[in-house]
Structure formats: structure tokens, C-alpha cells
Chains A and B, each alone.
Chain A
Amino acid sequence: MKRRDFIASGAAFTAGLVAQPATARAQAWPTREITIIVAVGPGSSADALARGVARIASRELNATVQVKNVLGGAGLTGFAELAASKPDGHTFGVVNVGGLLVFPHIMKVPYTWDSFSFLGGVAEGYYGIGIAVNSPIKTIEDLIAAGKSRRVTYSASAIMNGVAMIQLGNATGAKFQFVPASTQPEAVAQAVGGHVDVVVQTPPDLVPLIEGKQLRLLASATYNRWPNYPDVKTLKELGYDAATIVPLGFACSSGVPPAIRAKLEQVIAVAAKDPELMATMRSLTILPRALSGPEFRDAIQSQASTVEGILVAAGMKKT
């Protein structure tokens, strides 16, 4: 069965908050298949990571581990389902910045930070600023200068991508206008066609166009340089304290017995160092970054004020 039993999310949410001190049950765990909830569609980086982790978890725990893509609600449904899952250690899921930092400001969501126990981080997305090869803007300095004399537009498929641009604008006084795109390719095509000035996306989106000499990588918008373009500097190296940091990791609903949670944390830690998974991450150009549960939580929380600032500036934040 691919589907969970349908539980009214309100009731299940309450259940999720009630800790069940079931240490006796811990020995018998896992008693059935373990489900990894992924709130994005098949084929995405997060999905590929989760499937890799599923293989490793299955090996480590000697259990069946399945990946379940819970789409809908722009990722909200998956988050809600994870928060509401029975805290018996048979469900965990991928969590990212969007569900925790963006949505709670925009709409009523059926979960809080306290609904989750953070198990650990495995990766971080690389982000970069791409620009059409025939654009008169050649350097970050050109871009900032342009942003001081007119509205410079940037496209991105998610609001989080633009964190570096907002920070860059705040630091220099340049004006950068976010143009939301519905998909990654749409964001990229708008920049190549000159409809917007630059695009902020991840390597899988930009690399084919860079290799095809349609786009140039202006700067890495992460704290690390891109492995495939080691000559392109990061914004930080160029003298601007600006970076898009999107850690990717796993969490389960809070209330999972500590013994089971410790085992899950250990599985994530093993997975983060697994050579096969690291190879997958390299081929998808995501930065392997092993974080413990608390470190992962902090990494996300450190972005909270920046993201809130962006939402306020974009008029997206509801009270």
C-alpha cells in the first residue's frame, strides 16, 4: 500500500504532539515498513536523495524502506502529513527551508517547529547567479552598478533562491526585483532570452546552458565555489556577505521515543557519509554536508530572519 490510512489531520496533529513513552516498544522496532515522506515530486534532487537514503536505511535497519511522494499544497501537504505521522519511528521525511520558514508566514499551517524532531542534514544546495552571454553586464560590480541606476530583475523558481540577491541589495543599495517563475527551466529561459537580467538557480538548471555557451556563471551564491566551475568566485570572496543557504535533511514527528530517534539519527549520519550517496550528490551537483540533528535545526533556523525580511519586502507575509 502506497497510501497511509487517512486520518483527519487535526486529530492526528494532536496525536503527534503527545509523546508516547514507549521504550519497551523500541526493541521491537521496526515492526513494519518505514516510510520516507518527500513533499516534492519524483525526479527532484530531494527525491533522488531520499531514495538513496531509503536504500541505506533499508540496509542499516534490515527493514523495508519506501519513499512516498506526498505532493500537493506546494509541499504543504507533505509537511502536514509528516508532522501528523504516528511518532513510532516508522515515518520520517525530507524537510527544507520552504516548509518551515516560508509557508508559516503566508498561510495557516497545521504544524510548528515543535512538531518535528530533526534527525540530521545530508546536503546543501549550490546556487549561482547566471547571466546571458550577450548581456552588457560582465561582473558583479556591473550588476550592482546597474542596480543602482535602474530596476535589475532576477528570475528564480523559488523565493529562497533569491536570498543572496536580497542580501547583496541590502549591502550595496542596489535594487533587485524578484520575478517568480513557475519552474526552473522557465526561470533559466527568461534570463537566456534577456527577458530578465539574471537568474538564481542550482547547477542542474544552469549547467547545460553554461556548457552550451548561452549563460555565464557570474558568481556562486553559496559559500562554496561550484565544483564544476572552480574559477568562478563566490559572492563572499568578491567582498559581499551574501549567500543562499538551503540545507537539506531529515526529520520525524516529535514524540518518537529517544532510543528509536537515536537510531534514525545514526542512519542519517551513516547515509551522509555513504560513498554511493555521495556519488549521487556529486552527479546532481549538490554539496554533501553532514549535520547532526541539532546542527541541522540551527542551520535552518539561522535563515529565519532573512527569509522573513524577504517575505515582508515582497508583500507576501500575512500576519
Chain B
Amino acid sequence: MDNLLLGFSIIATPINLFYCFVGTFLGTVVGILPGVGPLATIAILMPLTVNLDVTPALSMLCGIYYGVAYGGTATSVLLRIPGEASSVVTCLDGYMMARNGRAGSALTIAAVGSFIAGTIGTVAISYLSPPLAKLVFAFGPAQYTALVLAALAAVTYFSGGALLKALLMVGFGLTLGCVGADPMTLTPRLTFGNLDLVAGIDLTPLAIGLFGFSEILAMARQPLSKLRMIPTPRTLLGFLPNREETRRSVGPVWRGTILGFMVGILPGGGAMLASFLSYALERKVSRRPEEFGKGAVEGLAGPETANNAGSSGALLPLLCMGLPANAVSAVLLTAFMIHGVAPGPAMMERQPEVFWGLIASMYVGNVMLLLMNLPLIGLFVKILEVPRAYLSPLILLLCVIGVYSSGEDSAVVIAILFGFLGYFLRKMDFDLGLLILAYVLGPILERSVRQALTISGGEMSIFFESGLSIGLLVAAGAFLVLGLLPNRKLALRDD
């Protein structure tokens, strides 16, 4: 507790608070803009912070990082365009809530859920770090293999809908994940001699195409009269979730926080996986699974909380071990090094003021984000009042710019191709979420299996050597078996 007070005393200077604010503000903006990611933003700002003190510099850069998960919600809910990869799931039910006239409520729930997750995540980093960080090292290739299998089985089991269609989407996602250089030998696969495909298909154009562009296409095919959304109430109360919505959000928020944090800690896990698993979990435990995909509050509250908790969780191995869990925290590690701070136990011992100052800035930053995002909701929902005929081309333009600036020249082509593909898949009731998830998990699975077999010299027994991997494999098997049992009936009824 003394340590944390020390942290607050360090952060409570105007200049430190200012930089914390700048960071969280930038994070929100970056989160809102599709295609502009925290990775590039932090990397570009990093050299500019060299002349700053350590604490303001790091609290600003970290603010960008965790602020993104707040901002990413808005475009997903309002326009069905994921501002960030971790908000892809929000496109499903968040957008449907907006169409039902509950946009303000959806954004409020997301902001408050994010705040709860961010704050609890920070508390967990403050007090639970050492034991949780050990978990990171328990995961080797064999354990990852088991984890991914369990995650895939769990999501397919939870997903509902026709099993065959689900498997088709998983297979397609896995195939997309195979495009690019072979993880072990770097041999190009499925690239058809195209250099742009050697690095694989980027997530950003894929997600924007499948979710954003396909929605614009779907709208273009409908008569104007059908496009009208139910307007959001103009009173303040209209922005607030009603009693029913609040009650239904409590459970998902708590489950999302815990699940998201645990998934976030694991390298390769992070916010996106957390949001998917939370969605799947909520659909399973819900008493109204038939509402999912049609604007279920749980389908918004859970994932939106989980992605924030995931971002916080991913900071834990970085701060406590110096081991970044994803690309963005890897850039943060470079930022730490440039400022002469080696994150990890050494930092807590030798530079406690930096560590606790940063932790304190995260508490403060989350409050700032909540205060900043709530008033913005009123502004955001106004976007829905713009006639769709004007709004759609504008969205299209923003998306293309975002995709173009985020990746390679070919990214725009990929986004457009997947826009058409997504449109047809949606028309035929395929689950695009499963496709994206398989696309993300497939490469991790392949790499882990091959790494494990390289280590063992081809012996399959490596997958059954640790309790952890056996446990996860059993869980995977259980989900598969359960999937074939009566629960299916319930799921089939949704169609």
C-alpha cells in the first residue's frame, strides 16, 4: 500500500498528469480510427519522449496502449467497423443494439465495463504479479498446442449454429492462416508467387473487409426505407442502460474481467482472443442464447470488458518479467530500454518510483478514460443521424485510408476481396467470428505443434508430459464430446 501511495505521490504533478492525459486521449483516438493502430503510434512517438522524464514518458506511452480498447468500441457499435482487432466481436451484438436504438446504452455499458476491467486489471498487476507471472513460463510449445486446441474446441462448442457450417468456417480460417512463409523453414506457401503474400494476410484488412465492407455492401442492396435505424432517445436517460440492461451486464462484466486478464497474460493471447472467448462463454451461460447476434447485452458487455482486461493482463509479464506478450508491448519494452529502465523484478527493486508511478498512472488513466468517453457518447450517437446515403461512402473512404496506411499496398485489395466474400458468407449464415478466430489461432497451433516435435525429435509423447497440457487436452476433448450431446438441440433452435 505504501508503494502505491508513493506511486500516486509521483504521478500527482501537473506535468505527469498532463502526459497521462495525452496518452489516454491519443489511445482513444487511435482506437476509434480503423486501421490506425497503437503499434505505429507508440513507435512514432517514442523518439519524441527521449527528452522527457521516465515517468511521464512511460505513462503516456502506456496510456496509448490501454486507451485503445476504449476507443475501439465506438465504430464497432455504430458502424459495424472494428476500430481495433480486439473489437471485432463487438460488431456482432453491439451493432445490433445500435440498430435497435440502444447505441447510447451500448457505449455506456462498454465504457463502464472497460473501466471496471482496466481498474481491476491494474489492481491485479499491483498485487498478484509474481505468482501470475510464473504462469507465463509454464507454457512451452506442448502446452500452447493443448491451449489452442482447448480454445478452438471451446469456441466451436459454445458457438451454436450448424456444426457443419461452423467447421467449414474454422477450416477456411485455418487455411487463411497458412498463407505466407512457413513458420519453420520460411518457404512461401499459398502465395502464388506474390511477394506481398509472403508475410501472410494481415488481420486489419481481413477484419475490416469481412465486417465493415460487407455491411456497406449489405446496406447498398437494401431500399432506403429499410435502412433507417431506430433513433436513439435524445434524453440523458436514453444514453443510460435501463434497469434490465444493467442487470444483464453485471455477470458478463465480472466473467469478462477475470477471463480476459488470464488470457491476456499468456503470450500470443491478448485482447482479441479474450474478447472471442468471453463472447462464446456468455452465449453458453446465457438463458437467452437465441438473442445473441440480435443485440444481446451480454454479447457486448462480456467481450468489451474482456478486451480491456486482456490489455491490462498483457502488461503484467512485461512489467514483472520484461517479457512482452504481444507486438505492442514489445514496442513498449523498447521504450522502457531507451529510458534506461529494464522492466522486471529489477525495476521494482531498483526503481520502485518508476514502477509504482506507472501503476498509479494506470489507475488515474482509467478514470480519465471513463470521464473522457462518457461525454463523447452523445457526440458519437449523432453519427447515426447522418443519412446512410452520405455516411456509407464516407465510411468506405475512411476504411480504405485506414487499411492503406496500416499495411502494404495489397492490403486494400485484400480488404475489398474479403468485403465481397464476407457479404456472401453472411447471406448464407456463416459465422464470420469463427473464421477470424481460426485464422488467428491456426498459425499459433501449427507453430507450437512443430516446435514441440522439433524439441522432442518427433516423439508425440511430449504433448502428454506436463500436467498442464494433459489438463488442457482433456478439456478440449470434453468440449468436443459435449458438443455432440443434447446441448446441440438448443443451439440448433437459434437458426
Contacts and interface: CB of A to CB of B under 8 A. Distances in A.
Nearest to A316: B185
A308 interface: no
A193 interface: yes
B44 A42 contact: yes
Interface stretch (B96-104, B119-127, B330-338, B487-495): B330-338
B321 A48 contact: no
Q: Most chain-B Cβ atoms within 10 A of its Cβ — which of A2, A209, A284? A: A209
Interface stretch (B168-176, B392-400, B403-411): B403-411
B196 A73 contact: yes
Given A3-B409, A280-B338, A77 B199 contact: yes
Contact of B342 (A102, A189, A211): A211
Interface stretch (B132-140, B156-164, B228-236, B378-386): B132-140
A153 B454 contact: yes
B181 A42 contact: no
B4 interface: no
Interface string A141-152: 000000000010
B3 interface: no
A205 to B, nearest CB: 9
Nearest to B325: A185
Given A190-B141, A195-B141, A77 B344 contact: no
B140 A42 contact: no
Contacts of B137: 189, 192-194, 214
B43 interface: yes
Contacts of A196: 140, 455
B475 interface: no
A179 B455 contact: yes
A30 interface: no
A71 B268 CA distance: 20
B47 A51 contact: yes
Nearest to A186: B267
A208 B451 CA distance: 24
A3 B404 contact: yes
B140 A72 contact: no
Contacts of B346: 208, 211-212
Interface string B314-343: 000100011111010011011101111011
A74 B454 contact: no
A204 B332 CA distance: 12
B408 A77 contact: yes
Interface residues of A, number: 64
Nearest to A285: B337
B199 A213 contact: no
B195 interface: yes
A180 B183 contact: yes
A180 B184 contact: yes
A209 B322 contact: yes
A169 interface: no
B186 A74 contact: yes
Contact of A73 (B195, B324, B327, B447): B195
A284 B50 CA distance: 13
B300 interface: no
A196 B344 CA distance: 22
A9 interface: yes
Contact of A189 (B139, B187, B337, B340): B139
A69 B288 CA distance: 47
Contacts of A318: 187
Nearest to B457: A151
B407 A42 contact: no
Interface string A177-200: 111111111101110111110000
B143 to A, nearest CB: 8
Nearest to B181: A74
B22 interface: no
A18 interface: no
A62 interface: no
A319 interface: no
26 contacts: A6-B409, A41-B39, A43-B42, A43-B46, A45-B334, A71-B407, A71-B408, A72-B195, A77-B196, A77-B408, A106-B187, A107-B186, A180-B454, A183-B267, A185-B267, A185-B324, A192-B137, A193-B136, A193-B137, A196-B140, A209-B321, A212-B321, A212-B322, A214-B321, A283-B340, A284-B338
Interface of B: 39-40, 42-44, 46-47, 136-142, 181, 183-188, 193, 195-196, 198-199, 267-268, 317, 321-325, 327, 330-331, 333-335, 337-340, 342-346, 404-405, 407-409, 447, 451, 454-455, 457
Given A76-B198, A192-B137, A194-B137, 7 more contacts: A73-B196, A74-B181, A107-B187, A181-B451, A189-B139, A204-B337, A314-B185
